[in-house]
Structures are given as C-alpha cells and as structure tokens.
A and B are shown apart, each in its own frame.
Chain A
C-alpha cells in the first residue's frame, strides 16, 4: 500500500515540476574555442550546468567553459526560472519509460535507464582515455562504462557484470557496499540511490542485455526495504540504528581476500583478519586479540600519519592505535591505558560511555561489540602486556640482566637516539645526498650486520673483536670514541651492546641472557706472542736496571746528531744510531749521551768519523748489548775499552782496522753471540783462535 502512495507522489511531483519550470529547448552551445555541441539545460549546480542530449544522457558543462553568448543566455534562463537549481534526481527520461518502469510491465532498458546512471556517476573516471595537460588520462582500473560492450567487457581482471547473477557481479557489489567502505563506488558524492541500485539489480537479473528482454524482475523500492524499520519506529519502540556491519563479502568474492603483509604468514594474517577470539581462560595477547579490534574500529582515525595528496594526515587527538608502543604512549593528555585499571584507562572508558556522549568512541559505525570490549578490558586487567613474542616490556631501555637483549627493542632504540644522526639512511639536504658516515648504516639489522666496505662491525660472541664495541668503549678523550658528540654511552648501554654481541648478535633475542662479565675466550695469538716475547726477555732484564728516559733527555741526546729511540713504547732502553749525515759525526758526538748512559742498549756508529776515543765512551754504557762500528777507523786499541761491557751480545767490526790482536782481546767476553769481522784486518788465524775461545758465538769473517 505504501508503495503505491510513493509512486503516486512521484508522478505528481513530475507533473508539478513540468508545470512550474518551463522546459528548456534544445539549442547549440559553443565554447570560446569554437567547439559546438547540442543540448538542453536541465539544471545547474553552482557554476556548473547540467545539460541533456537528445538521448536523454546528462553531462556537465562548466559555466566558464561556454562562450559569452551562451553565458548571457543561461543567466537569463536561470533568472526566468527556466532552469531548475540542482541536479535532476533521475535523468529526465521520456515519459513512456517512466510509466513502464512504474507499471513494471517491461524489463529495464540499458540505453535509457542504466546508461544515464553510468554516464552521470561513473563516467568521470571510467571513460575513454583523454588528454589532460598533455598527459593521457586512462580510465581507472581499466574499466570503461561509456558503451554497453565496454561495460560488459570489464577489465583485465575479468568482467564486472555477470548476467543473471548479482552476487557475481563486481559492479553490483561495489555499489551496494556500506557508504564508509573504502571500495564503495562511486567514491565521490553520495552512494547511488536505492532506486538506482534496484535498477541495476533488476537489469542484471533480467540478463544484463542491451535491449530489454522478455524477462521482468519486480522492483524492490526503498520504502519496501525499510518498511520494517519504519513500522518499528511507528510502533513507538526505541529506535536504534542497526549496527553497521563491517562489509561482509561473499566468500570468494573479489574483495573478500585477506591482505597478507610481507613477512607475515598467511595463516596469521587470516587469523588476524577474522579477529581470533581468545579461548576462555587464555591470557589476552595484544597482537592477536586486541590489535585486530583496534585496527577494525579505531585505526581509521587513530592511524600512523600518512601523506594524502601532499598533505600529512595526522591521527586524531594525536593518538595512534597501530602498535603496542603507540597505544601505550597515549597523547599529551596522558596515557590511555593504565595497566590493571580499566576504569582509569581512557581507551576502555570511552567505549562504555552513553552513545550520545560527545566522547563516545568509536564515533562512527556504532559501539564496539561487547565481546570485543570485554577482550580489551581483560587485557588491561591482566596488566596490558605486550604480545609475548614480539615486544619487550623494557623496549627502548635497558633489559633486565636475565632478559636476552632484543635488537628491535633495545639495540635499535639506542642506535636511533645516539647513532642514526650520522649512520642513518642517506637523505637529501640542500639538493645534496647526505650519505651515512663511513658508509655505515645502523638503521636496520641487515645494515648493522653488513658493516661497511671495511668489513663487519659486529663479530658474534666476540665483543673485543667487534668494532662496534671497541669504538664505544674508548676513553672519553679518544678522538675516535663513538658517539663523537654528547656523552659517551652509559655503562648499562655498553653492557647491553656487549651482551647482545655475546648472545650472538642476532635480530631475534637469544634464548638465554649472556654474562657480560664472563672472561673472554682466550685467543691464540695472545698466547703465542708471549712465547715470542719470552725470548727477548734478556732485554727486559736489562730494562729493569734503567729508568724511563724523559723526553728532555732524549732531545738532549739527539743534539749529538743521532736518532735516539726507545726500543718500544714506554721502554727504558734506547737505540742510538747515527744514520743521517754520518760522515759529519766525530768522537765529540757521544758526549751528548751522558744523561742516558744506562739507557743505551743499541749503539750504531757505523760509517762515522769516530776513532778509538769514542769506544771509550761506548765502554761506559753498562747496558750496551749491541754495538756496530762497521766501516770506521776503530782499531785494536778501541776494543780494549769494551771489556767492561757485561751484556754485549752483538759486535760489528766489519770494515774496521781491527787485527788479530784486537780479536784476541774479545776472547774474554763470553756473552758475545755474534761477531762480524768481515773486511777487517783480522786473519784466518785470528778468527780460528777467537772461535776456539768463544765456541758458542757466531763469528763471520
């Protein structure tokens, strides 16, 4: 009965409007560029006129795009009320269609009933490619609805219309989605009216043919669909809008697929999409139980900031509910979660407000399912813990000593605060690409492990061998200490990094925490080197008898023209050698060594102009072990002064004037290990005698 009334009213409205508004005639419009087209103005909206062509199809023409003659004409027409304001609700169709539609005697006609809707609501996007600003604009999704054939063809993914099957017709599915669904079509403006949707429904059910078939499907009017609700309202029952269901897609539908993010197993994604429900008694897991609810009901507004057509869209109220840490962070007004206290947790309380309260959340789509609210409540009561396997409670801080270090939760936050300024991803500044320093990036696990071109910075289980650990443990004043700016890392932070390395330096936390104070594994080289050093120990024995020479003493000694160098760092014994301008050196030079007599263990006077007098000085250096007077004028007389040297092991007399007599004077020096007599005046006989006296020594002749 109600249906009839509505039909009657609409008929009345049509006839009334025909009376009130004098219909515009078809005329030829033109643009300033001279383009001409025929049409009949049927309405206007702001600066845009809606014209109808002879087929009844509507198209929009911006007022400014018309020639001045047309502008004047249209202004007059509007002033004379010849053109109604607004867009005609239904395309003005020839009256016979209208009547046949209302009587339902004939099937839906594509050309007169479907095409105009497509033309009006779809063809802005789904039309023939065209040029705009020199670019070819292609139809969106590769779909064109400007002819019947193209509509039926669909796109590469297949047809969008399945004749006789509204459930299989994607086109029908998208126009019937809830208005806030991402996929609803048309994406702009209001959804299609229920009358328009019904036309599609009937047309598809009738076979989606170009010309009406014999088959006729009864119309289902909006009033019919909503009559029940209306009735309830009329009956005085409290009106409560139906909780708008999350778009429920038919199983297997094009849109019903579950998005599987990278790195997530499909099962996990599916479970999440279906909102895995905790079993009774099962502790609530944030990632598995809570996050899906937040994602479904909150993340539309409380999302991570994102960029929409050049504008940064920030989350509402600065609240983000897209991860555990963000949920716990709250906003400037404080946290929204207080562990174990649901009544103080704003996230929970706003869901339980009366719905007409301004602060009731979510503001759209009806209240959260009571079961879901219960999950959130249970989660808070249980302590609002992070998901077991994902995030540490000490994220961003220092893990407890028995908690294995997590790269994501402990190491990376530290890197973020102290290292990424220099060792982050490359970025562009003033048109220049700023690369990470030393080619080293620390912003992702892979980069940290990769190190840079010079090799890795982390060696698992070997903190001492890891450059990362080394540079943070340098003394404060070392120029290479990292970070170079600000305070050095705290002891705890260093221990944390050390532990992470000891635990295997992997992305996932190790099973067991390592003891940072455990003795490092002994290294082969260290033990071996002590063996080698042991052989040098006779020098060390001598070294104990001398005190470290001061810098001043060394400089004074160098006045002689010699280079005076310590045998090793902070080593008392020194080597003095006249290596440069040796030919300018004479006996007087050794006077400069007075202050370091006890320190000289090696003395090289080869190729100088010294004489036997210098040997007297050399004989007064008690710790002398190595003496070379090669290629000098030294004679037998000089050797006599050496007899007091208790530790002389190396004596180079090659190229000197020493004779058998001098060689003989060496026989008493049992410490001598090497004697070089080549090119001296010593004869074979002398050498033989010396060899007999010093059988252990190596005597080269």
Chain B
C-alpha cells in the first residue's frame, strides 16, 4: 500500500491500458460519440442558475498532506510545528506555512477551509470517500466526483473527454456510463498515448481498413439496431475524425514554450498542472492531478518542504497562468488530500494519519478570495470554529459552484439512488 502511494503519480503501462480500456472501450475517449450525432442540444445546463465555475482542476495530495505544514499552520507553537514558520499572504489575516511562499501571493484569489474532517483514517478508504462522497463498499462502485461532473454538467466540447486524470489510479465512472469515467494520463509529458495514426498507414490504406471493418460489422449492426451497438460505430467514426484533428494537441505539452515549464516547474506534478491548464483551455470539465509522496510517517519536515517546492511552484504557476489567460474566473482549482496528519510529532520526526482535521485550498472560479474558513484548536487537532466540513460537503461546494443539481438522483443498476455529493451541504462561506 505504501509503495503504491509513493509511486502514485506514475501509471504503469499495464495499469494505463486497463484504465484506458475501461474509459475508451466503454465509449469513453470520445464522449461526443452519440451526442455529436443525435443529441446536439442536450440539456447541458442542468442547474437552475448560471454556473459560477465551468472547470475544475483538482490537485490531489495522495498519501495525506500535513495540513499543519502547508495550509493550516499554527504559529507560535513549535511544539507541534517543529521548525516550520508561518508567513503572511496576499490576503489580510490569512497565513500559510513558509513552505508555500509563492502560493501565498495568490491567496486573494483563494479560500482555505481549515475544518475538513473525514471519517476514514486509511488511505484507500479515505481517498475513496473524498472522491465519491460515499463510503467504500463491497457491493457497488461509486462514480468519482469527476464522473459526476462529466455526467451532470454536460459536454462543452465534442472531441475530448470531459474528465481526465493525470497520475494516480482510479477515477472510474462507477455505475454511471463508462464514458464519464476519467481518461487516465500516466505521464503528462507523453500526453495521450496511441492517439495518432500509425506511421506506416496512409489515408488510402486506412480508409480501406475502415471500410472493411464496417462491412464486417454490417450484419451485426442490422441485426441488433441498438443504442449501444450504434454507439460503437459512432465511436469509430468520431475516433477517426479526432485522430486527424488538431484537438488532440490539447494533450501535447511539448507544444508549450520553455517559459511555461519554467513557470510550472519541470516536475511531473508541475507538468501535470500544465497539461491540466491545456486541457481546460480545450474545454475539459474536470482534471485531476495527483501528487503522491505525502505519507510522511518519517522525516516529515524535510519531506514536506521538498514536496512543497514542487507544489508551490506548480500551484502558483497554474493560478498565475490561468489568471493571465482569463481562465481563472471560470476554473476552480482545488487542492486537498484524503486526510491530515497528527499534530503530535512522532519519534521518527514524522506525522501519522489524522482524519479529524485537515485543510482544503480552493481558488478561482466561484470561490471567494482571501477567506480562511473556520479555526482549529491551538494544537490543530480538531475544529473549534465553523462547521466541520466533510468530504461530501466539499464536493457539494464544488458542485454548487459548477451549477450542478445537488439533488439530481442517479440510480445504480440495482435501483439505488445516488447524488453527486451524497447529502453534502455547500459551504457558502467560501463561495463567491
């Protein structure tokens, strides 16, 4: 488990294939399959009000980020803070740990929820809860939040998926249609694998192959004129179109100038954020970028400082880049983890799991700037001011900003009702 989380931002080839197969074979890669042809005026705006945000970039700190050493420091308390100092930010009265100096310059565009709580203290279960708003169970796989967003918010482009996950596993659509599941990108620098026409094929050869496929499928398609069958042939047709279009360049960060790599940092996470921004530009609804390496049971302070070099650069770069391009207004950037870490420093200079209190950072679209919501006790152990915000409340907050109908019920195949954020309540204190 631990090794999994340390390597969490790399996706093995095998893993990639299995995820991609789920996403693509389930009519996933090209969500326009179907919609492009016979569903053009779908109810893309299920909300009753114009959405404040249209895109989400969710930065998942897998392994559980130490909230005390990042977004929820307790100043003047070396007992629990160790060597970490607090610094002021661009927002009055909001402080961050000294590990995030660049991010501090963007706090006027961001809110921090200091009273996050989770009921789960083990990585997988807690991460599942954060991503789905539901507790993990043996009998059902719940859709991840990105899949909900893709399902409920509707498509805003016709060529690339609404839901992309960079690094890390999971992101599945659960019982929702597979096409809403996250398209997995293992390595942001490599972009979308296997999406270009093979070099040994020319248009004529390729065309005749497609024609052959169609001929072979003809009998089956006439015999079973069903939606699912049609969707497959649509998928092929659209895939060919996409393969030849420029839209796939969205996945290609090599087209970004060198200055961008400097801005975001050359780390996997930085490049992931850069890719996320490219995808948002190309109208992807939901991009999750995972950064592992936060399970700091040992040597917490060095590890966190190290991680923060990455995070701070990438996050501040992302916020700046989005703002300059005029995208921050409609793009919400969320950074959080599955739970926090113990205020008590253990014998190995590390911090252990602490689901009773952690932080979430929200910025950009739909988010009030310069808000620090709630307060914790003087040791950062548990919320004392403000509501405790459960994972489903956080998801409800994001969903609300996206204009998603929080009470829209989707039924699993067994007929059970589910909603985008379980029964979470949006936290209006951080919503613009």
User: Is A579 interfacial (CB-CB < 8 Å)?
Assistant: yes
Give which listed residue, B47, B155, B283, B426, contacts A525 with CB less than 8 A.
B426
Residues 28-72 of B, flagged 1 when their CB comes within 8 A of A and 0 if not, give 000010000000110111111111100000000000000000000
Chain A residue numbers with a CB within 8 Å of B50 are: 536, 539, 567-568, 571, 573
Residues 575-594 of A, flagged 1 when their CB comes within 8 A of B and 0 if not, give 00101111100000000000
Chain A residue numbers with a CB within 8 Å of B428 are: 525, 528-529, 531-532
User: Is B348 interfacial (CB-CB < 8 Å)?
Assistant: no
CA distance A531 to B52 in the complex (A): 13
Closest chain B residue, CB of each to CB of A452: B416
Give which listed residue, B32, B324, B431, contacts A700 with CB less than 8 A.
B324
Chain B residue numbers with a CB within 8 Å of A566 are: 44-45
CA distance A676 to B155 in the complex (A): 26
CA distance A453 to B326 in the complex (A): 44
- Whether B157 pairs with A579 at a CB distance below 8 angstroms is yes
- Whether B423 pairs with A455 at a CB distance below 8 angstroms is yes
Interface residues on B, range: 35 or more
User: Is B414 interfacial (CB-CB < 8 Å)?
Assistant: yes
Cβ distance B198 to chain A, nearest Cβ, rounded Å: 22
CA distance A453 to B142 in the complex (A): 12
CA distance A583 to B248 in the complex (A): 12
Give which listed residue, A480, A565, A674, A700, contacts B44 with CB less than 8 A.
A565
- Whether A676 pairs with B325 at a CB distance below 8 angstroms is yes
CA distance A439 to B139 in the complex (A): 11
- Whether B283 pairs with A674 at a CB distance below 8 angstroms is no
| Chain A residues numbered 554-574 whose CB sits less than 8 Å from any CB in chain B | 554-555, 558, 563-569, 571, 573
CA distance A555 to B39 in the complex (A): 10
Chain B residue numbers with a CB within 8 Å of A398 are: none
- Whether A565 pairs with B416 at a CB distance below 8 angstroms is no
Cβ distance A440 to chain B, nearest Cβ, rounded Å: 8
Give which listed residue, A454, A524, A580, A676, contacts B417 with CB less than 8 A.
A454
CA distance A458 to B418 in the complex (A): 16
- Whether A569 pairs with B40 at a CB distance below 8 angstroms is no
| Chain B residues numbered 402-423 whose CB sits less than 8 Å from any CB in chain A | 403, 409, 411, 414-418, 422-423
Residues 223-247 of B, flagged 1 when their CB comes within 8 A of A and 0 if not, give 0000000000000000000000111
User: Is B187 interfacial (CB-CB < 8 Å)?
Assistant: no
Cβ distance A361 to chain B, nearest Cβ, rounded Å: 51
CA distance A554 to B43 in the complex (A): 11
Chain B residue numbers with a CB within 8 Å of A525 are: 425-426, 428
Chain B residue numbers with a CB within 8 Å of A439 are: 414, 416
Does more than half of chain B's interface fall in helix, strand or loop, or is it mixed? loop
- Whether B48 pairs with A569 at a CB distance below 8 angstroms is yes
Residues 521-542 of A, flagged 1 when their CB comes within 8 A of B and 0 if not, give 0001100110111011001000
Chain B residue numbers with a CB within 8 Å of A529 are: 400, 426, 428
Chain B residue numbers with a CB within 8 Å of A531 are: 428
Cβ distance A562 to chain B, nearest Cβ, rounded Å: 10
- Whether B415 pairs with A437 at a CB distance below 8 angstroms is yes
- Whether A678 pairs with B43 at a CB distance below 8 angstroms is no
Closest chain B residue, CB of each to CB of A602: B50
User: Is B282 interfacial (CB-CB < 8 Å)?
Assistant: yes
User: Is B158 interfacial (CB-CB < 8 Å)?
Assistant: yes
User: Is B137 interfacial (CB-CB < 8 Å)?
Assistant: yes
Cβ distance B176 to chain A, nearest Cβ, rounded Å: 15
- Whether B247 pairs with A581 at a CB distance below 8 angstroms is yes
- Whether B246 pairs with A583 at a CB distance below 8 angstroms is yes
Chain B residue numbers with a CB within 8 Å of A385 are: none
Give which listed residue, B157, B247, B400, B417, contacts A563 with CB less than 8 A.
B157
Give which listed residue, A532, A579, A652, contacts B158 with CB less than 8 A.
A579
Chain A residue numbers with a CB within 8 Å of B290 are: none
Which of B48, B50, B160, B428 has the most chain A CB within a 10 Å cutoff? B50
Chain A residue numbers with a CB within 8 Å of B40 are: 554-555, 558
| Chain B residues numbered 97-135 whose CB sits less than 8 Å from any CB in chain A | none
- Whether B416 pairs with A678 at a CB distance below 8 angstroms is no
Residues 258-296 of B, flagged 1 when their CB comes within 8 A of A and 0 if not, give 000000000000000000000001110000000000000
CA distance A567 to B153 in the complex (A): 11
Chain A residue numbers with a CB within 8 Å of B47 are: 568-569
- Whether B45 pairs with A580 at a CB distance below 8 angstroms is no
Known contacts A533-B49, A569-B43; can you find 19 more A-B pairs with CB under 8 A? A439-B414, A480-B411, A529-B400, A532-B431, A558-B40, A563-B44, A568-B47, A571-B50, A577-B156, A579-B158, A579-B283, A580-B158, A581-B247, A606-B281, A652-B326, A678-B324, A679-B324, A700-B324, A700-B326
Binding site for A on B (CB under 8 A): 32, 40-41, 43-52, 137, 139-140, 154-160, 245-247, 281-283, 323-326, 329, 400, 403, 409, 411, 414-418, 422-423, 425-426, 428, 431-432
Please list 25 pairs of residues, one from A and one from B, whose beta carbons are closer than 8 Å in the complex, sorted by A's number: A438-B417, A452-B416, A454-B418, A455-B423, A529-B428, A532-B49, A532-B52, A535-B432, A555-B41, A565-B154, A567-B51, A568-B47, A568-B49, A568-B51, A569-B46, A577-B283, A579-B283, A580-B245, A582-B246, A583-B245, A628-B326, A630-B326, A652-B326, A676-B325, A679-B324
